[in-house]
Amino acid sequence: MRRQPILWLASIAIISLMLSACGQQAATPSEAPANGDRGAAIDEDAPVDEAAPSEGGLVFWSTETEQERVDQTQAIIDRFTEQTGIQVELVPTSEDILPELLTTSVAAGDLPDIIFHPIDFAIGWYQEGILDAAAATQAIEALGPDTFSAGALSLVEVSEGYAAIPSDGWGQLLIYRQDRFAAAGLEAPTTFAQIQVAAAALNDPDNNFYGITAATKAGEVFTQQTFEHFALANNCQLVNDAGDVTLNSPECVEAISAFTDLLRQYGPPGEADVSSTRATYFAGQSAMVVWSPFILDEMAGLRDNALPTCPECASDPAFLARNSGFIPSFAGPSGSPAQYGQISLMGITSSADVEAAIEFLTYWFNDAYLDWLAVSPEGKLPMRRGTSDEPTRWVDGWGELETGVDRRGKLGDFYGEEVLSLLIEGTNNFNRWGFPQGQGALVAAIYESLPAPALLRETIDEVFTPDEAAEEMQLEVEDLQRG
């Protein structure tokens, strides 16, 4: 049965709504958005749309609007200005008004020089002539393309080079109870088959323990992100290179079947979302969970309003941190290892003072880089790994940064160097639906309307078969593509 087509908003409004929704992924009971601003209020009345370009300097828009982060960014800018004499005006800009603000700026002919923004905008802005790919590519070439995550660069690759410069990001993780797996003689869950075998072996609902917990709630970005990880792992693509929607492909049917069967048979009953999946794993009631790395400081017992509550955690709040394994990339039977990745970028606009902008970004990715990553180490994995002379400089420095809210500690103290290396290496396999094929606008529409989560939920509830769900996704996304 086919859903009725919906009349969609203009593309700018769609993107704005999508970004607002994307904040749900990493939301917690304290409503922390996906970029890690936990519990921080954004001043929507701040005059972010009234700033005029600095005379003889740069204007830098940043979507990091929480006051502590604004202060840290300003400190970086002040040091840069003191060193170079180049003035930089910082304009904190909330993600949910960024599209509207940029449209106004384009119309007024006063684009900023540099924008710190999520990858969701990159290809669309490049295609609209807002981002200067030649300038971004010049900066990347000067810094060294081989010093960046290959996966991050591939997502912003365009005909002129790169639409923008990858700064930092995070990738979705499959987290599992290493102690339980070892006791049961199970392999690490790096394939669909191993995930299914482990979930079946450890599932014990009579004792309130489940094989896996992952997002299944309709209408939630977190469900989209979670399934997209599974889809990419099985080479289920949103579109082909020609831009044709391919969600009814055999690979997509296979991914839908694997995902929905897994959660129906071995997941907790009912819908699961951001909070419930984390709570189930933290309570010691699940063998696996799919989450973002923003869970890492919480799992280590460093945040009071999201403490692990498993029986062993009473005497050792970091028990789960020490007894969990991490799989950044896994593979389906028709795919190769892939990981859903969310990346933040530095974009140089088409009206920028290119020479000054590149000088600022050279400073940013060298002198100031660790100061920037220190804002939220668990969610700001370095997309630049080091320098040509010191290939692991920034990765090594990132591993020494402290994280946490109510208590502080180094990620390496809880998870060890092997896990940190896994997280970093996973960025080489970052992937997303639609971006490699230049379909940023379609991705925005999908994240606004979220057809996949609703259909996945109905498939788990056996309203649809996987084949029927794939056909419905195909039709609904084709409607979106036609506008």
pLDDT the model gives residue 412: 86
The yes-or-no verdict on residue 479 having pLDDT over 80 is: yes
> pLDDT tens across 184-193, in order?
999 999 999 9
pLDDT the model gives residue 196: 98
The CA–CA distances, whole Å, from 306 to 27, 295, 404 equal 12, 9, 11
Mean pLDDT of 221-235: 96
Mean pLDDT of 224-249: 97
Q: Which of 265-269, 317-321, 447-451 has the lowest mean pLDDT?
A: 447-451
Longest dimension (CA), the chain: 69
pLDDT the model gives residue 38: 35
CB-based contacts of 245, cutoff 8 Å, min separation 6: 238, 239, 474, 477, 478, 481
Comparison of pLDDT for 417 and 285, the residue scoring more? 285
The enclosing H or E element of 148 equals none
H-only helix segments in 234-323: 250-266, 274-282, 296-299, 319-322
Mean pLDDT of 97-117: 92
- In this structure, the number of other CB atoms found within 10 A of the CB of residue 56 comes to 10
Equal CATH topology for 11-171+342-415 and 173-338+433-482: yes
pLDDT band at 124 (very low <50, low <70, confident <90, very high): confident
pLDDT the model gives residue 324: 97
* Adjacent-strand bridge partners of 149: none
CB-based contacts of 473, cutoff 8 Å, min separation 6: 247, 248, 252, 451, 452, 455
CB-based contacts of 439, cutoff 8 Å, min separation 6: 123, 238, 239, 243, 433
pLDDT band at 54 (very low <50, low <70, confident <90, very high): very low
pLDDT the model gives residue 261: 98
Mean pLDDT of 278-305: 95
The yes-or-no verdict on residue 199 having pLDDT over 90 is: yes
> pLDDT tens across 396-410, in order?
999 899 988 789 999
The yes-or-no verdict on residue 69 having pLDDT over 50 is: yes
Q: Which of 96-100, 123-127, 214-218, 321-325 has the lowest mean pLDDT?
A: 96-100
pLDDT band at 56 (very low <50, low <70, confident <90, very high): low
User: Would you list the domain boundaries of the chain?
Assistant: 11-171+342-415, 173-338+433-482
CA distance 177 to 259: 20
pLDDT the model gives residue 14: 37
Q: What six digits make up the tokens of 336?
A: 């190769």
pTM for this one?
0.81
CA distance 318 to 465: 41
pLDDT the model gives residue 19: 37
The yes-or-no verdict on residue 133 having pLDDT over 80 is: yes
Does the domain made of 11-171+342-415 have the CATH classification 3.40.190.10? yes
* Adjacent-strand bridge partners of 210: 286
pLDDT band at 483 (very low <50, low <70, confident <90, very high): confident
Mean pLDDT of 160-168: 96
The enclosing H or E element of 168 equals strand 165-171
Q: What six digits make up the tokens of 416?
A: 């060890």
The residue among 41, 62, 68 whose CA lies nearest residue 118 is 62
CA distance 363 to 384: 13
pLDDT the model gives residue 86: 97
Average pLDDT score over the chain: 88
> pLDDT tens across 292-301, in order?
999 999 999 9
pLDDT above 70 as % of the chain: 88
The yes-or-no verdict on residue 413 having pLDDT over 60 is: yes
The yes-or-no verdict on residue 214 having pLDDT over 90 is: yes
The CA–CA distances, whole Å, from 240 to 128, 235, 356, 363, 406 equal 22, 11, 39, 38, 47
The CA–CA distances, whole Å, from 78 to 65, 67, 83, 309 equal 17, 16, 9, 43
> pLDDT tens across 12-37, in order?
343 343 333 333 333 332 233 333 33
> pLDDT tens across 331-374, in order?
999 999 999 999 999 999 999 999 999 999 999 999 999 999 99
CB-based contacts of 15, cutoff 8 Å, min separation 6: 99, 120, 121, 124, 441, 444, 448
- Enter the CATH code of domain 173-338+433-482: 3.40.190.10
pLDDT the model gives residue 440: 82
